Amino acid sequence: MHVLGRFNTWSPWVRPTILVLTAVKILIVGYLLHVSAVAGQKADARISVSKTLSTLSARIEGNMLAKSHLLQGLSAAVQLNENLTQEQFQIIASTLVANNSDILNIAAAPDLVVEYVYPLAPNRTALGVDYRDSTQFAPIRRAIATRSQILVGPVDLWQGGRGYILRIPIFRSTGAPAAPFWGIVSLVVDYEQFNANIGLSDTDLNIEVALRRLGGGVGARQIADRGAQLVDRSGRSHRRFHCLPIALARPLGQGDT
């Protein structure tokens, strides 16, 4: 009877307490389920973004490497015949750039003065341009010193618009370890057409993309493409799901051109 009496004394508080504890448990379980669902959504979003960026990365790298190989082919042709005529250059260049809708022009500059350019008609005013007087001379000088190809851009083009410029220094085929410098070949890629070709301009692309130069030298860590609003001046991303490195051009050895 004594125990029963105590229970009856506490009983008015038992039911409310149980209800409160039950409600708290429900809230905790609901919160944990919500957190789990949000984590799952974020994981799915990361996977989706990673797949999209992997695809874009492969397209960018493949596109630029193809152009790099194209320009190496031109440099090899120049090495074989350092006294090309303009007509011969037109034939070689037109063959190499066929079916590349984003290539604006391709040029060769013996001793850093433009002597050959394709297509000739819209780019005739480029003939005689001395790269030593160009704002692009710093990266050109670095390419010569390191005997490696360089990619710069996007930059404002003299003919209007913006573009990427791929350059390769050429050294004479003397067989000597320190072969003398002949000149440089350059290939200009239209910025907008390049973006369209690799899918950066697709209307159904549901992410914002920024390309940032991470290598050393001139322009290190600069924004190299659209999406500058994603990265502040300190280089930190505001909204970053994923980032992938892109090898746009391999370094060239001493025997390469």
Cβ-based neighbours of 226, under 8 Å, separated by 6 or more: 195, 200, 209, 210
E strand map for 131-255 = 150-156, 162-171, 181-190
One-letter identity of residue 187? L
pLDDT at 73 over 70: yes
**Which helix (H) or strand (E) segment is 4 a member of?**
helix 2-80
* pLDDT per residue as tens digits for the range 215-227: 544 333 444 555 5
Decide yes or no: CATH 3.30.450.20 for domain 41-230.
yes
* pLDDT per residue as tens digits for the range 176-195: 667 788 999 999 999 888 88
The pLDDT value recorded for residue 47 is 73
Residue 167 forms beta bridges with which residues? 150, 186
One-letter identity of residue 225? D
Nearest partner of 119 among 134, 99, 97, judged by Cα:
97
DSSP symbols for 83-142: T--HHHHHHHHHHHSTT-TTEEEEEEEETTB--EEESSGGGGGGTT-BGGGSTTHHHHHH
Cβ-based neighbours of 115, under 8 Å, separated by 6 or more: 108, 109, 127
CA distance 90 to 116: 8
CA distance 135 to 131: 8
Asked if the peptide bond before residue 154 counts as cis, ω within 30 degrees of 0, the response is yes
From residue 240, alpha-carbon distances to 52, 73, 151, 215 in Å are: 14, 38, 25, 20
Place of tokens 């930059």: 155
Which tokens is 210 given? 């920024």
**Pairing assessment for the beta strands 150-156 and 181-190 based on DSSP bridges:** unpaired
pTM: 0.68
The pLDDT value recorded for residue 14 is 63
Q: What percent of the chain has pLDDT over 90?
A: 12
* pLDDT per residue as tens digits for the range 223-243: 455 554 555 544 444 444 445
Cβ-based burial of 208 (10 A; exposed 0-12, middle 13-18, buried ≥19):
exposed
Nearest partner of 137 among 68, 177, 171, 184, judged by Cα:
184
Distance of CA 188 to the CA centre of its chain: 15
The pLDDT value recorded for residue 13 is 63
From residue 216, alpha-carbon distances to 64, 139, 213, 220 in Å are: 19, 11, 9, 5
- The full set of domain ranges for the chain reads 41-230
SS3 181: strand
